[in-house]
């Protein structure tokens, strides 16, 4: 199975041994970040530093001023964690080591954008804004995201892209010092707390026969027992139980249409900017109402739009099944496995996990993350890929 390792530019720049070390894992490809959210990342082997703090979401290359001139919403340049054309420099070094370079583009996840432009953020039923979560229904936000997708995906030397967060982001964030786990919201509670009530979404609910004020009140009423400890799980049936099936279905119809049309527009923008044969994949969850980095999608639809998907499989490969069931010839179904043991991964079982993923339909592997992993983890990855 073809495997690709995720990498940040700062894992490579300033470390002349990094490209050969990554190539020695046995991967044919790297998925190199070109637009990324804020993070604090370990660099355990770098000769000059051990911690890199990316203070805000940024593009890791010089943005095209012609594209963004006069636009209120535009990408942010990186600071000293990825100055200049960090992607280009790292990508060239990795390509020289014999690795095929694909871009890794994070889209609808940007706390700096929400701080600078509060009107872009998802607003929950209580009126709280989520600055990390741009509302993808807003026309200006959609234009920004499609422009960013095209520019950040199609970088010189790249053979393809992986688009992350191309859909709704909600309550869950993995935010620094996050303290939101005191009440177990479950799948249904997460959905209700992720519903957006910005002006555009309020109009969207209205178009589907819902009064936005009444809907927000219903969400608050439904969640009141949850705050006192009542369960809110049960998947989509749980949402229907809390909100009423007809109301729940109407909110889902609005949100899925918004996400689906954004995904179509972003992929089309990438294809228009890219050379022939450029591969476009989405980080995806087969449960269409889910939010987050792995955007909820309809498997049949997304495989008709993109060349394939990258699916989180660290907790098991079952999420691959709905995509494999489509039987779309030539589609890439990449199983994403965490290989950093300190982040819950199991590099020692990589060969077995990959074999199970292949049985369930995976055609490729993604390994998260070559820069963050310890030496012992990388050795386990080398052994696992060799066993395959």
CATH code assigned at 156: 3.20.20.80
Over range 55-82, report the average pLDDT: 97
Contact 351, 367 (CB under 8 A): no
Write phi, then psi, for 332 (nearest 5 degrees). Answer: -85, 125
Contact 303, 328 (CB under 8 A): yes
**Residue 93 maps to a domain:** yes
Q: Which residues contact 186 (CB under 8 A, 6 or more apart)?
A: 226, 231, 232, 233, 234, 238
**Residue 80 maps to a domain:** yes
**Residue the block writes with tokens 């390994």:** 367
SS3 label, residue 327 = coil
Note the pLDDT of residue 175: 74
**Residue 209 maps to a domain:** no
**Dihedral sign, CA of 208, 211, 212, 216?**
negative
Residue 257 has pLDDT above 80, yes or no: yes
CA-based nearest residue to 161, from 114, 101, 74:
101
Residue 178 has pLDDT above 90, yes or no: no
Strand-strand pairing, 121-123 and 129-134: antiparallel
Contact 284, 306 (CB under 8 A): no
**Residue 87 maps to a domain:** yes
- Is the pTM value of this prediction over 0.85? yes
Residue 233 has pLDDT above 90, yes or no: no
**Residue 218 maps to a domain:** no
**Residue 275 maps to a domain:** no
Contact 78, 60 (CB under 8 A): yes
Residue 169 has pLDDT above 90, yes or no: yes
Residue 138 has pLDDT above 80, yes or no: yes
User: What is the C-alpha separation between 27 and 296, in angstroms, rounded?
Assistant: 28
Note the pLDDT of residue 326: 98
Residue 343 has pLDDT above 90, yes or no: yes
**Residue the block writes with tokens 């100055």:** 83
**Residue 189 maps to a domain:** no
User: What is the C-alpha separation between 137 and 43, in angstroms, rounded?
Assistant: 37
CA-based nearest residue to 114, from 137, 139, 141:
141
CA-based nearest residue to 157, from 59, 60, 87, 82:
87
CA quadruple 283, 156, 24, 366: dihedral, nearest 10:
10
* Structural domain range at position 376: 2-181+280-387
**Residue 195 maps to a domain:** no
Q: CA 246, 252, 254 angle in degrees (round to 5)?
A: 105
- Counted domains in the chain: 1
Confidence of residue 126 (pLDDT cuts 50, 70, 90): very high
Largest CA distance in the chain: 60
SS3 label, residue 123 = strand
Note the pLDDT of residue 176: 72
User: What is the C-alpha separation between 43 and 48, in angstroms, rounded?
Assistant: 9
Residue 356 has pLDDT above 80, yes or no: yes
- Which H/E stretch holds residue 326? none
């Amino acid at each position: 199975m073809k495997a690709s390792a995720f990498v940040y530019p700062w894992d490579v720049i300033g470390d002349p041994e990094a490209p050969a070390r990554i190539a020695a894992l046995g991967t044919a490809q790297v998925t190199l970040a070109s637009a990324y959210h804020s993070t604090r990342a370990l660099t355990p082997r770098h000769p000059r530093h051990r911690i890199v703090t990316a203070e805000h979401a940024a593009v890791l290359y010089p943005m095209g001023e012609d594209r963004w001139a006069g636009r209120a919403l535009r990408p942010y340049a990186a600071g000293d964690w990825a100055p200049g054309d960090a992607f280009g420099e790292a990508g060239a070094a990795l390509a020289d080591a014999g690795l095929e370079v694909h871009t890794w583009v994070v889209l609808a996840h940007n706390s700096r954008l929400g701080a600078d432009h509060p009107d872009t953020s998802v607003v929950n039923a209580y009126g709280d804004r989520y600055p990390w979560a741009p509302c993808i229904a807003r026309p200006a936000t959609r234009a920004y995201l499609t422009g960013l997708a095209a520019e950040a995906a199609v970088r010189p030397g790249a053979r393809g892209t992986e688009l992350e967060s191309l859909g709704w982001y909600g309550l869950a964030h993995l935010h620094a010092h996050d303290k939101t786990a005191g009440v177990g919201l479950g799948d249904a509670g997460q959905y209700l707390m992720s519903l957006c009530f910005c002006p555009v979404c309020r109009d969207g609910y209205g178009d589907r026969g819902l009064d936005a004020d009444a809907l927000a009140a219903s969400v608050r009423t439904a969640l009141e027992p949850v705050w006192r400890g009542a369960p809110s799980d049960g998947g989509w049936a749980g949402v229907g139980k809390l909100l009423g099936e007809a109301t729940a279905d109407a909110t889902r119809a609005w949100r899925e249409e918004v996400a689906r049309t954004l995904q179509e527009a972003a992929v089309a923008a990438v294809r228009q900017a890219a050379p022939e044969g450029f591969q476009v994949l989405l980080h995806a969850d087969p449960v269409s109402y889910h939010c987050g980095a792995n955007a909820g999608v309809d498997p049949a639809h997304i495989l008709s739009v993109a060349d394939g998907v990258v699916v989180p499989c660290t907790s098991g490969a079952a999420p691959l099944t709905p995509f494999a069931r489509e039987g779309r010839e030539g589609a890439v179904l990449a199983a994403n496995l965490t290989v950093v043991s300190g982040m819950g991964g199991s590099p020692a079982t990589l060969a077995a996990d990959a074999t199970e993923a292949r049985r369930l339909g995976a055609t490729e592997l993604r390994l998260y993350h070559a820069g963050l992993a310890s030496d012992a983890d990388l050795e386990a990855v080398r052994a696992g890929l060799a066993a395959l």
